[in-house]
Structures are given as C-alpha cells and as structure tokens.
Amino acid sequence: MASEGASVAADWAAHQLAEMKRNSASYSYQAEQNLADLQNGLIAWQSKPGRAKKLFADDLAASDKLLLTGGVTQLEGAAGGGLTPWAVIAGYGTRDQIGASAFYTDIRSQDYTLGTGGVAVGLWDRVELSYARQRFNTRDVGGALGLGTGFAFSQDVFGVKVRVLGDAVLEQDSWMPQIAVGMQYKRNDQGAVLRAIGARDDHGTDFYVSATKLFLDQSFLANLTLRETKANQIGILGFGGDKSDRYSTQFETSLAYLLRRDLAVGVEYRTKPDNLKIAREDNWYDVFVAYQPVKNVSVTLAYAHLGNIVIKDKQRAPYLSVQVGF
C-alpha cells in the first residue's frame, strides 16, 4: 500500500518544503507550522500509509488555490482584478470540485455612480460562467443633458471563460502562464438614448484572451489581457458609434504584489476604444489594495482614474468591492 501512495506522498512533501521556503523569510510562525506538519505527515506515512495517503491528497487539493491567487471580481463579473479579467477561474473549487463567488462593487466619481453586482460559478477549475448587473447613475449630469436628474443606464453582462493552458499556482517550475479565453455578452436597457448619442447598438459581445503568471517565491503576479470590443465605456454607452463601428483590440494589464498571504497591492491599466463623436473616451487605470481576512471573503479598495465620461472630464473615483467565494 505504501508503494501505491508514494507519488502522492512525494508531491505532498515537495509542497510542504516549498511552503517552508516561501514562508521562512517573513512568516516564521507559519514556517514552524509547516515543519511540524511535515514531521507529523512522515510519521503518519510510516505507521498508517493508507490513511496518510488520503490526508496528503486532501491537503494538496485544498492548497491548489491559495488566498488571493484566484483574484477578486472585475466590473463585468469575471474573476480577475477590478478592471480586467485574469486567466484564473472563479471560486475555490479544485479540479474535482465546483466553486462559486458573489460580489458587489461601488464606484463613485465626482459626477457619476456605478454599482455592479453578480455571481460566478467555476466548474472543475476549468470553466467559469458569470453574470453581472450594472447600474450607471448620471446624477445631476442627467438633468443637464435633458434626461432627468438621476437618470440611469442598466446593463446585463453574461460571461464565459475557459482555461486552456497552464496552472498559475502549481506550475512554479515553468515560465508558462495560465491562459484562458473568454467572452462577455452585454445588453443595455436604454437603446433609444444610446442611438440618440451616436451608438450603433444597445448590445454587443467582447472576446478576450488572458495570461496570468504567479511567481510565488517573489510574491508577485502579472496578468495581460487582449480584448476585442466595440463597447463604449464598457457598454454603458452602447456599442460602436458614429466615429467607428468596428471591433478594435484593446490592452489590459494587472500587476500585484503579495505583502502577506492575505494582503496584496497592485496597479491596473485598461485601454478603451473611442467610437463616439459626442465625447472623447479615455483609458482607465487604478491602484488597489486587496485584503482577504478569511478564505471565503475578500475586500478590495482602489482609487481609479476614469478620465472623460460624456460631458465631464477628469473623473476620479474611490472603488470598493466585496466578494464572497466558495
């Protein structure tokens, strides 16, 4: 029986040693705990190999997704950063499990408010299905435009993402990132208003590919996303326009540094198309802090630069997002 579980035991021991190495620099208590776990596991393997094999397998499965390495939830409902999707899959399910997450995000600039909430389901750490509902309140700007004070655009976003290559957490001995492809179908409820300002459609589909690489030894994560889109202000102002009605390739990136296992800081940048004559559309960027006090709850606080939105320039906004994951 010992020989049957030898590979599992070897993988578990390698994982414990890697954790000890990663924690030894700044997490002395955690490193001591890793050493104790390794010693106890080896003793159990010698005395009761069948039982130890099951414990090793369960421990490896539970460690497949570490705190914050699954990202938070971005504005359109996909797992990732706040502004851009990553190649990771939502929830804390492993390759044999189904995971899920729910979130709510509130962004308040000088002149606008965006609230968005939604859910995502991760299937076997391979496929992600997501839904988000966005509500963009124009506040006093709506009155100035003749739409009425507090006029709001609402948008539904249905997403799917598939991991096609790599594993951001487990493949630390390879430079290959985790790669996923995805799409987001968006439907806005204000078609008549959108056409009046020059948008061609009230619905559209974005297509993207994301590559995410986690460097555990350096406590650093990098993500690059390429998106094909027609969306104006991520779809809140419709799709296509009187300047251009073609798909364009946009660039999105996230960089994050893990200060601790439960605390990360980072920056994001997202380019956007400029399809409408009514107003210039600027790129977005932010700085953020993500805190995960327990495995199932994370809180993200950011400060975002949103640039020009319709008739108001230099929009900047605090960004607060809460996520619950399973």
Q: What is the CATH number of the domain that holds 314?
A: 2.40.160.40
pLDDT at position 21 is: 59
What's the mean pLDDT in 255-277? 91
**Separation of alpha carbons 57 and 40, rounded Å:** 15
Q: Is residue 141 part of a domain?
A: yes
Is there a contact between 159 and 129 (Cβ–Cβ < 8 Å)? yes
**Separation of alpha carbons 306 and 316, rounded Å:** 6
* C-alpha distances in Å from residue 165, one per residue of 93, 156, 162, 177, 276: 18, 29, 9, 8, 37
Question: How many Cα neighbours within 13 Å face the side chain of 227?
Answer: 27
What's the mean pLDDT in 188-202? 92
Asked whether residue 57 falls in the same domain as residue 88, the answer is no
pLDDT at position 261 is: 76
43-91 per-position pLDDT tens digit: 666 666 666 666 655 555 455 455 566 678 899 999 888 899 999 888 7
pLDDT at position 72 is: 82
Asked whether residue 84 falls in the same domain as residue 128, the answer is yes
Q: Is residue 296 part of a domain?
A: yes
Asked whether residue 81 falls in the same domain as residue 48, the answer is no
Domain tally for the chain? Answer: 2
More confidently predicted of 169 and 144: 144
What's the mean pLDDT in 178-205? 94
DSSP bridge pairs for 161: 128, 182
**Separation of alpha carbons 174 and 10, rounded Å:** 19
Asked whether residue 153 falls in the same domain as residue 271, the answer is yes
Torsion angle (degrees, nearest 10) of CA 169, 170, 174, 176 = -50
Q: Is residue 219 part of a domain?
A: yes
Is there a contact between 71 and 79 (Cβ–Cβ < 8 Å)? yes
What's the mean pLDDT in 215-228? 89
What residue has token string 């600039």?
Answer: 109
pLDDT at position 36 is: 65
DSSP bridge pairs for 156: 133, 187
Asked whether residue 265 falls in the same domain as residue 292, the answer is yes
Asked whether residue 99 falls in the same domain as residue 197, the answer is yes
At residue 3 the predicted structure's pLDDT band, cuts being 50, 70 and 90, is: very low
What's the mean pLDDT in 8-15? 63
Share of the chain above pLDDT 90, in %: 49
More confidently predicted of 36 and 223: 223
Can you say whether residue 91 is alpha, beta or left, with left for phi > 0 and alpha for psi between -120 and 50 degrees? left
φ, ψ for residue 287, nearest 5 deg: -120, 145
**Separation of alpha carbons 151 and 147, rounded Å:** 6
Residue 247: pLDDT over 70: yes
Q: Is residue 244 part of a domain?
A: yes
More confidently predicted of 176 and 95: 176
**Separation of alpha carbons 295 and 65, rounded Å:** 10
pLDDT at position 4 is: 46
Can you say whether residue 139 is alpha, beta or left, with left for phi > 0 and alpha for psi between -120 and 50 degrees? left
At residue 295 the predicted structure's pLDDT band, cuts being 50, 70 and 90, is: confident
pLDDT at position 219 is: 82
pLDDT at position 31 is: 55
Segments forming the whole domain that contains residue 257:
72-325
CB under 8 Å to 121, separation ≥6 — which residues? 90, 91, 98, 99, 100, 128, 129, 130
> Using CA of residue 238, residue 242, residue 248, residue 252, what is the dihedral sign?
negative
Share of the chain above pLDDT 70, in %: 77
